[in-house]
Structure 1
Amino acid sequence: MRLLSVNGNKRFFLSRYHKNVLKWLEEVDPDVVTVQEPWVNKPARWWKLQNYHLVGASDDVLVWSKPHVTAAVLQVADHRVAFKANGFEIHAVHLDPYKGTTRRNQLKDLQEGGGNNGKPMVVVGDFNLAPRPQDGRFGNAHSTATGADERRAFDDFLGTFQLVDATRVEGVEPEFTFERKYEGQWFRGRCDLALLPSALEPDQARAVYDHEVRTGPGAFTDHSAIVVDLPDW
């Protein structure tokens, strides 16, 4: 099963970008699509995605699946949609972009509400935090936007559900998924994440970034997307 996650930067359905979105979806061919910040407002017609069925929607997250995928919503909160698909419990999340205390509370909510279905857990989305100091940079220095308490909460969450940060690679420069200029300095962050069960072997699952959606000629957002391939369980 191919799972796709992207922050749409409120452009996902805007007419001048949506043709790029549809072309990209055709190329990537995901079975499940999860989008954070898909809209400027929320007219019901925007819930429809060509060739996909709506699984669940919150104020800030949308999830669709292809007709052949058996998917059902489990929980909905402002910042996440939980659903089951192909033997996995999947949480599509968009944590608060402004306050670390809110993000910690949202991680706590996820920790308390997840893992109740006896299925392996997967979490994808825009966490708006840097898991390690080197995952956030302001100019040439580590960014202070993510606090130590947030990182502890994030690590505790990983430990509770035996998850791994699948796009984290040691010993090399992080793949930043968001870049923006503030006050003459570049802020870069690896905040779009895929958390996968540690029990999965490397040949069973993979998570890779697609940076073209924010840097390529058909760009439609300011975040990189995540493409996750999972086994059918």
Structure 2
Amino acid sequence: MLVDKIIQFENHFAELQAEVVEKPYGRIFYDRDNPLSYDSNHAYINEDFDGDLDLAINELIEFYRVIAITPRVYTFTRSKSNVGLFLEKKGFLKQIEDLSSYVQKNKKIIDRASTIDIRRLHISDEAELSHFGQELSEWGYKSLMKALSNKNFYLFGGYEGDVLVCMASLYKQGDISRINDVFTKSDKRGNSYGAQLINFITEFNDKTLHTVSYLYANNPIAINMYKKAGYEEVKEMVRGCYWVE
């Protein structure tokens, strides 16, 4: 089912922006150069792992402490996580999120005139992207730059003349893709650039990738825009973040 595919996608999403250590119980993601990014520095433990969970948790705690990063585990499930319950018993702190996720079940083009030139960005465009670094978080910008080296990651930039004014990304795994980093420079907002980016991605996805796209959104204005592009809310997924000081 689609929800199960998205859950699988989310559990492995960090491989886009982090180094990966494969373990019998799951995967350890880390990036020493970006320690502030929780998304780049956490472990994933299979919910159906039937081995020694105590040993697994002790191992990942030791791994992160050696590189001076807070030990952290993400869970992504339909409901309460058995791994999460075990981590709580081990003294991990927790934060549970009912994420507002939207899936493009019916692809539509938003009625907006095209006023910007949109093209794919690459690592060679770092000088232009650095201007966004002033408005994005430090860890978010570093994660974005690392992702650019992945062949299944597409970063699209919108240009007003020769000036990069907005961007959005698309990451593909199998027949699922996740939209991220939909961002317009603060002094250029209110020009429907976000809608134009979503239209571009909808057509690119439909003609080139042939995937089902999803994204996260909390801003009512953005949510309204996504609904116009055929995105529908999916409420069946819960993410847990567990960490130990």
Q: TM-score under structure 2 normalisation?
A: 0.23
Structure possessing the higher relative contact order (Cα contacts under 8 Å, 6 or more residues apart): 2
Query: Rg bigger for which structure?
Result: 2
Which has the larger share of helix?
A: 2
